Amino acid sequence: MRPNARVKIQGLYGLPKTRTPVTPAVLDTVAAFFKRHKGSVLALTGAGVSVLSGIPDYRGASGTYRVHGSYRPILHHELVTQHESRQRYWARSFFGIRPAFSADPNEIHRSFAKLEALGYLSGLITQNVDGLHLKAGSRNVLELHGTLKSVRCLNCSHEESRDVFQQRLERLNPGWVEFHKALATTDEKPARRPDGDVDLPPNLSYEDFAYPTCEACDVGHFMPTVVFFGGNVADSVRTQSYEMVDSADALFVCGTSLATFSAYRLVKRAREQGKEVLIANYGETRGDGDATAKLEAPAEELLPHVVGALEPTPSVVSTLAA
């Protein structure tokens, strides 16, 4: 992408006009969906499933784009080509990465891990870069947009852990370390953002913030192993996502408005193959017209109860153990 290219960031979808009551009948319907396709349900999740873990989403009722209308994320080509953009990003991430890594999985993440352990899921594709599905115990997970856990050199592709990179940033920026400590003692905690960075004061200058070059090639600059706006999902990841859709019998979409095409095209692919698509999201999604069924309900009110309905009863467990 050329340096001055404009990137269109997909806009907001509508807030919910109705709410699906999570009644026993609704729970039975969702449980029946998983039973009908047991072992072959592919889950697709987004930022909405991590909100309860303290990580804000983008387009929900309290999402970053909806509450902070002027918020503008870093773009791929800016991080690749512009020194000032790298300074701004790494300074904001310098403050935000530790809270992001300390976040714990919530009941939604744990519910997906249980669904897999019970044999209902064939796999899970997440747009999130927080690693919380894996932390919760899910095993067959494809991180569609990458992970914040590592960084990659733009010159030689050498990778190192984000934790090691953070230590290097701290050694290069002792003044910012002190600023961070001082800020932590005040009531003015920076607002967290979905991508592991934070909002810092608008008049703050980043011109003295230093970031390291690659120790493997001595010249390359790093970027997180995530897909930024304007960037592309790696061919191998896209192919794997298609294969996961193709091998599943049904798709369960949860906690996402499907605004990014990399996720929405998986819903389209499933429907083009005649597969059942169930969407559970509290708010309009790009894929509502493609869904076989849509539940306008928060996942935390739905999934734990569905898992409870699918778990073997004590009598069944005793029978199986006999």
User: Where do we find the tokens 């050498």?
Assistant: 158
Beta carbons within 10 angstroms of residue 116's beta carbon: 22
Joined together, the tokens standing for residue 115 give: 């669904």
Size of the chain, expressed as the number of residues it contains: 322
User: Both ends of the chain: CA-CA distance in Å?
Assistant: 62
Give the C-alpha distances (Å, rounded to integers) separating 146 from 75, 95, 152, 192, 273. Answer: 15, 20, 11, 19, 27
CA atoms within 13 A on the CB side of 304: 9
Residue in 76, 145, 158, 221 annotated catalytic: 145
CA atoms within 13 A on the CB side of 196: 28
DSSP state of 144: T
Joined together, the tokens standing for residue 231 give: 């960037």
Joined together, the tokens standing for residue 112 give: 């997906």
Beta carbons within 10 angstroms of residue 40's beta carbon: 15
Residue pair 142/126 in contact (Cβ under 8 Å)? The answer is yes
- Annotated active-site residue 145? The verdict is yes
Give the C-alpha distances (Å, rounded to integers) separating 275 from 237, 267, 318. Answer: 22, 9, 35
Q: If we measure between CA atoms, which residue out of 48, 61, 50 comes closest to residue 12?
A: 61
Joined together, the tokens standing for residue 27 give: 């729970």
Catalytic residues: 145
